Structure 1
Amino acid sequence: MKIVVATGRYPSKGSPYSHMFVHTRNKQYLKQGHEVIVIVPATTENTYHIDGVQVVEGPVCKLKSYLFEADRAMIHLLLHRFDKKLDGGVLYDAILEKKIPTLFFIHGVETQTIWGSRRDDIQWRSPKSIARWLYRDLYLINKMKKTMSHFLADSVPVKFVTPSHWMLKEAERHIGLNLSPKAEIIPNGIDTKHFQFADRWEQRFELTSIRPLYYRGKYALDLLLDSSEHLDGNVHISIYGKGPDAEIIRGITEQLSANVSLNEGFLDAADIPNVHSKHGLYLGVTRMDAQGVSMCEAMASGLPVVSFDTCAIPEFVKHDDTGLLASAYDIEEYASLVNKLLNDRELFTRLAKSARAEMEKIDIDVTTKLETTISL
């Protein structure tokens, strides 16, 4: 099968982590014997290869011809733009015109308004933040709604793919369209061969969380830091990540009585198993996640997870079965569940083993095979 992947960004030498989750899928497609070409809107033309995947950059008018050769198109974060050379709408129109079989992946940005999902992220003193909000809510979402309504036509062979039922309902709520008749739930696959399971009980007092460094908002590091003050005194928490609030977070950690350290920097996929090996429990704090991939990777490695009963988390963490869930944003309950897990060997082991088995069900080999064989 010839697969053409249309995406807004892609890993390159100058930007090695751009939409790495798309590249991870594409490598699996190659392993399964498919031909893969990635097209990326850009103002100038360029072609390169990465891990055997051919990537073609250029104005959208030049890229659409690649779609006409596809047995199946995959769309990831292909957005409408003011610049006509970069406007994903041209590629959407080409797919619709030729009725190319398509998987339209919904990650959130394409459908969620900032005002309706993350209004606390708007920085009212930042012109850039306000411009981002206005672009997303007044321009992008309206354009995406119109585009997706065209894909809902009976004659168009498409599946809207979301990683969770929550994300599907969230998308429908924001854009006001019923996507369900053409929707499929396929979680982001977890490479369980890369994340080796081990008994982490001896490292249980070493807690970790891998999150973009935003103090408030969806990544909820404020909740993690607040809950740390209620944990048993002999724990150590290591936070890994990169983001604009690193200095704010570092300053707060220095004022806490809890033992919290910040490890600033982007973690390459190859580094994450090593981080897991040094820790025993994963703090899956969040206010909004369509899945929680870093959390799922920790579950695959044998780190029991404590998270909140919110957004899509309960679809991946079943309370008292594959992890523990506190009531949404209740930091005292959250801390009590962590303390309970630290002192209950049987519970710790049972949750870890069940979580690993659950992650094997969504191994990346399973999910990507479904993506290439699902009927359109």
Structure 2
Amino acid sequence: MNELTFSEKDRYVIITNAYPHEKQLYRNGFIHRRVKAYQAEGLRIDVFVLHPAYKKAEKYIYEDVPVYRGTEQHLRMFLNHNVHKKVLIHFVNSTMVQAIKETNKDLPIITWIHGFETEAWHRRWFNFLESAESLRKILEMADDYYVAQLSFMNWFYQTNELDTTFVHISKWFKEHIAECDARTKSENSVIIPNVIDDMLFTFMEKPVEMRAKVLSIRPYASRKYANDLAVKAVLELSKRPYFNKLEFAFYGDGQLFDRTVEPICNFENVTIHKGFISQEQIAALHKEYGIFLCPTRLDSQGVSMCEAMSSGLVPISTDITAIPEFVEHDVSGLLTKPESPIEIADAIERLYYNPDVFLRVSKQASQSIQDKCAVDVVIKRELEIIVG
């Protein structure tokens, strides 16, 4: 790491736990999209990926972004160059902050709070119901990792030792999860949602026929995405007279995929696509469907839902956690009660029988989410705290 040279001063560094690589395209891609937007505004950005797996310091370039990878020791050496104006952190942990304290504690820090790094273990209780082994494992972590991480966050939110600004992506998550679980306030904080690429997820006015075309693109690694409720909604709709006039497409992958979608595999109007797809492929699919099916059990924003809204799909989600900050029921989407596949089915039925509602909500979904999350809106607010 000593051989690193920097030709220009006035740089910013992002410290994170993962970043896209030509062999790992999906590692925190949303951070990369931010970096490209910052570069477009003239900022010089370095990325340091801190992870114990990278025993040897290394550097690569990903789409004109210089990315460094290494351990805590390498991070200290990296920061000792003292060429950065600020540190921007995504998925913070104590190791990252300790390295800053020991090298340049006066360096201003901006920390984005995304989710698991500031949640108590029980927030994801629904992930540990599969077996006694999974429950036992998380209970062991509850006494070790979660206690240590939340104790660190309690200190980090309050400390005067460092110049830190916190960015929360939703008011609900800030107040009901991040601060609640850390048992303290993050006084120096702002709320800025994750950015949605409105140049990729462009609005296309939907013909009324698309109200019968339902799309689901979700991970299947966790029960938080409530894909089981979406499947149960299809099963409920299969009992209704117009079912064969509907069309469903389920895209996704993860350990729960096969088991979750198995009950609907034999319906002729349901197509199943196992595997991850690119942002460009997702945007293309958005133009073929009218409804985005995205129930949830826990979301700090729901980025895939917001992307679909930007494209003009009508989201059907759950009136829970942060979702109501991004979807207003009957205005920019339809919200259902938690754990209610019948209400999900009823929402699809309502759009089927009321094309005027479908067209109205489709337009309002796109406009409302672009007002909140478009690139110009979010990046402008982030640059105000980065450069300011």
Q: TM-score, normalised by structure 2?
A: 0.87
For residue 84 of structure 1, what is the aligned residue in structure 2? none
Identical counterparts, % of pairs? 30
- For 1:43, give the aligned amino acid: K
For residue 262 of structure 1, what is the aligned residue in structure 2? 272
For residue 54 of structure 1, what is the aligned residue in structure 2? 66
Aligned residue for 1:26, secondary structure, equals: helix
Aligned residue for 1:337, secondary structure, equals: helix
Q: TM-score, normalised by structure 1?
A: 0.90
Rounded Cα–Cα distance in structure 2 between residues aligned with 1:281 and 1:147 = 39
1:292 aligns with 2:302: yes
For residue 337 of structure 1, what is the aligned residue in structure 2? 347
- For 2:113, give the aligned amino acid: I
Aligned residue for 2:236, secondary structure, equals: coil
After superposition, the Cα gap between the structure-2 partners of 1:147 and 1:299, relative to the gap in structure 1 and judged at 3 Å, is: closer
**Contact 1:28-1:365 within 8 A present in 2 as well:** no
After superposition, the Cα gap between the structure-2 partners of 1:129 and 1:265, relative to the gap in structure 1 and judged at 3 Å, is: farther
After superposition, the Cα gap between the structure-2 partners of 1:308 and 1:368, relative to the gap in structure 1 and judged at 3 Å, is: same
Rounded Cα–Cα distance in structure 2 between residues aligned with 1:53 and 1:130 = 41
Aligned residue for 2:272, secondary structure, equals: strand
For residue 153 of structure 1, what is the aligned residue in structure 2? 159
For residue 35 of structure 2, what is the aligned residue in structure 1? 26
Unaligned runs of 5+ in 1: 81-86
**Contact 1:207-1:283 within 8 A present in 2 as well:** yes
Q: 1:132, CA displacement in angstroms?
A: 5.4
After superposition, the Cα gap between the structure-2 partners of 1:39 and 1:128, relative to the gap in structure 1 and judged at 3 Å, is: farther
- For 1:194, give the aligned amino acid: L
The one of 156, 174, 185 equivalent to 2:191 is 185
| RMSD over equivalenced CA pairs, Å | 2.3
Q: How many pairs are equivalent?
A: 365
Rounded Cα–Cα distance in structure 2 between residues aligned with 1:15 and 1:126 = 32
**Contact 2:251-2:274 within 8 A present in 1 as well:** yes
The one of 70, 76, 88 equivalent to 2:96 is 88
Aligned residue for 2:265, secondary structure, equals: helix
Rounded Cα–Cα distance in structure 1 between residues aligned with 2:71 and 2:235 = 52
**Contact 2:164-2:188 within 8 A present in 1 as well:** yes
Aligned residue for 2:34, secondary structure, equals: helix
Q: 1:147, CA displacement in angstroms?
A: 4.8
After superposition, the Cα gap between the structure-2 partners of 1:344 and 1:32, relative to the gap in structure 1 and judged at 3 Å, is: same
Which residues in structure 2 correspond to 1:229-308 (within 5 Å)? Answer: 229-231=235-237, 232-233=242-243, 234-254=245-265, 259-308=269-318
For residue 110 of structure 2, what is the aligned residue in structure 1? 103
| Higher deviation after alignment, 155-164 or 4-13 | 155-164
For residue 6 of structure 2, what is the aligned residue in structure 1? none
**Contact 1:229-1:258 within 8 A present in 2 as well:** no
Aligned residue for 1:311, secondary structure, equals: coil
Aligned residue for 2:27, secondary structure, equals: coil
For residue 134 of structure 1, what is the aligned residue in structure 2? 140
**Contact 2:316-2:347 within 8 A present in 1 as well:** yes
After superposition, the Cα gap between the structure-2 partners of 1:62 and 1:141, relative to the gap in structure 1 and judged at 3 Å, is: same
- For 1:228, give the aligned amino acid: V
**Contact 1:92-1:147 within 8 A present in 2 as well:** no
Rounded Cα–Cα distance in structure 1 between residues aligned with 2:254 and 2:139 = 19
